[in-house]
Structure 1
Amino acid sequence: MAHAIRFYETGGPEVLRWESIDVGKPGPGEVRIRHAAVGLNFADTYFRSGLYPVPLPSGIGVEAAGVVEAVGEGVTNVGVGDRVAYTGFLDTLGAYTTERLIPAAPLIKLPDAISCETAAAMTMRGLTAAYLLRRIHAFKEGDSILLHAAAGGVGLIVSQWARLLGLNVIGTVSSEAKAKIARAHGCDHVVIYRHEDVAKRVRELTAGKGVDVVFDSVGRNTFEASLDSLKRRGLMVCVGTASGPVSPFSPQLLAMKGSLYLTRPALADYIADPAEKAELAGELFGHVAAGRIKIEINQRYDLKDAAQAHRDLEAGKTTGSSVFAVEGD
């Protein structure tokens, strides 16, 4: 019997329910997947809390990897027995399942060198890192970035990839333990935000100039310090809102702080084109398969324990990537 995590009302982790489900047969353009591993992402908490509204009741989760067990009419990009991964938004919502039906379009075939567990831990994070570093800004060797949550799943991939590009990476973390992890994965400098003034320290590390780009996945609590860490005409990239949405502000603030640029990108808009998605995924998988980027899976949970996983994630207890183990590759 297949099982899934679902929720019938928005709220805290306690709203998540473990239920038996009937999967059925794939329709036109769909496939049936048996999951091997499911990814845990902060975006999952946004669906659960209602920050990202969806019709209820609803499944949860947008990233997983497994094996195709059946294909519907018209499916040509994958076949039965293929190992695949996927990530997305509403088109992939419902990944917290042992088996499911899903449109075939979002699926990515996995190279032999990438396990299903690794794919579930990195597809969303890795493609996010890919577009941040390869699409958002024309980086050149020697540029500097400020990377919040540097010991998190996206942070560890971004910092390693940035090192390959020759960038100077300043990471922020909450503790010395996380600082050690960040340094080991490519951060040139680490600021422990609970004990240091982030913007002041960034200015010290950049000879008063500030950084070229800030990647801020925290939101409300770091927004002002992020702006104050940028050089003149620097770019502020709001990647997430772990501490809550940024409060409304006048665009004049950007002018006052040095004619800054600001963007709030979404992964879905950078993988909507199949060719661009394939290019980003190919570069990501190539780095991981060659060992140039290591995917750190530091937390593993049973899928039925999704509520505890959400508690740990929101409490800042996790580092690197987290996955729900479903069954072996």
Structure 2
Amino acid sequence: MTTARAIRLTEFGGPEVMHLDTAEVPAPAAGEVQLRQTAIGFNFIDVYQRMGRYPLPSPTGLGHEAAGVVDAVGAGVTDLKVGDRVVYMNAGVGAYAERRNVPADKLVLLPAGITDEDAAAVFFKAMTAQFLVKKTYHVQPGDIVVVHAAAGGVGQILCRWAKALGATVIGTAGSAAKCEVARAAGCDAAVDYTQADWVAQVVAATGGRKARVVYDSVAKDTFLGSLDCTAPFGMVVLFGGASGPAPLIEPELLNKKGCLFLTRPSVFPHNADTATFRANAKDVFDAMASGAVRASIGARFRLDQVADAHRMAEARANAGAIVMTP
């Protein structure tokens, strides 16, 4: 038995509801390993869960993603050993911690060329991008792709990966400065979606051609415009809601807009079994090795500064990933 600091919530609400507590961490049970975490990733789902929008039991921890070193191995674990560097993104909430026990089948060995910090910054986001560009809609050479929130952690990865797959990529972001970040992430053009004519600007950027797929993680502020950016028989992929839930629509609207396809996928079902999860992770690591995926870290915080990290994310004041250190 050892002790470790971890973020705990006893109620849901603003950033102030997160508290740094010390708790005992038992020896790992059968099928588990104990991790000494070295870098913790932030994802916007953490905000939703802290607010109570995505229900969790109370009290609860927070966080889905971290990298670290195996310090102890439970009975029956044969594919990991003490000292292994690993990363995870779906081992149950509780990643905001110095140390924790994790099911071994939720872990992936880190290649030597990827640092712990880069892994924590990119893994969840890159696994999200992987199922978006390879499974939800398989981006092909010549496709026109629109990526909202293109300056964010997932957005930058999506833009680079879609570009590497041969697409023309139009990014949108919430300010001129963020549009510059989107262009640096590989976008052929970037448009400020706070401008009233942003849809017309997106379509004009491709010479009047609309997108085969629009990846929308902003929702409330962009969703109806996303429908207008999509070519007939194209797909709108709604995978988040940074500005709030998407407006409700009648299904007939999809017909009127060009027989569009609309989907609301999630990263976890796409990685539900261990073999698929590790195969998708290898795809991510290969993309990192090729340069198609890069860890773009926009801000770093200590674990005791977690409230500041959440405030920055909610204000959409960051460009790139947020990483926390225990």
Q: TM-score range by the shorter chain?
A: over 0.9
State the partner residue of 1:278: 278
Asked whether the equivalents of residues 219 and 244 of structure 2 are also in contact (C-alpha less than 8 Å), the reply is: yes
Structure 1 residue 316, shift from structure 2 partner: 0.6
1:22 paired residue among 21, 24, 38: 24
State the partner residue of 2:170: 170
Alignment of 1:1-329 (within 5 A): 1-88=3-90, 91-326=91-326
Partner SS for 1:38: strand
Asked whether the equivalents of residues 63 and 92 of structure 1 are also in contact (C-alpha less than 8 Å), the reply is: no
The one-letter amino acid of 1:301's match is F
The one-letter amino acid of 1:235's match is M
Partner SS for 2:105: coil
Structure 2: any 5+ residue segments left out of the alignment? none
Hey, what's the Cα distance between the residues in 2 that align with 1:145 and 1:134?
Answer: 13
The one-letter amino acid of 1:3's match is R
Question: What TM-score do the two structures reach when normalised by structure 2?
Answer: 0.96
Asked whether the equivalents of residues 202 and 211 of structure 1 are also in contact (C-alpha less than 8 Å), the reply is: no
Structure 1 residue 196, shift from structure 2 partner: 4.8
Q: Which shows bigger deviation, 107-116 or 76-85?
A: 76-85
Structure 1 residue 209, shift from structure 2 partner: 3.4
Cα deviation 1:252-279 (Å, max 9, x = unaligned): 1111111110111110111113232222
Structure 1 residue 198, shift from structure 2 partner: 2.2
For the aligned residues, what is the CA RMSD? Answer: 1.3
Cα deviation 1:55-89 (Å, max 9, x = unaligned): 1000000000000111111112311111000002x
The one-letter amino acid of 2:175's match is S
Percent identical: 44
Hey, what's the Cα distance between the residues in 2 that align with 1:296 and 1:196?
Answer: 29
Asked whether the equivalents of residues 144 and 168 of structure 1 are also in contact (C-alpha less than 8 Å), the reply is: yes
Partner SS for 1:31: strand
Hey, what's the Cα distance between the residues in 1 that align with 2:192 and 2:75?
Answer: 54
Partner SS for 1:22: strand
Asked whether the equivalents of residues 4 and 98 of structure 1 are also in contact (C-alpha less than 8 Å), the reply is: yes
Cα deviation 1:288-308 (Å, max 9, x = unaligned): 234343211120000111111
Asked whether the equivalents of residues 146 and 169 of structure 2 are also in contact (C-alpha less than 8 Å), the reply is: yes
Q: Which shows bigger deviation, 271-280 or 215-224?
A: 271-280
Count of matched residue pairs: 324
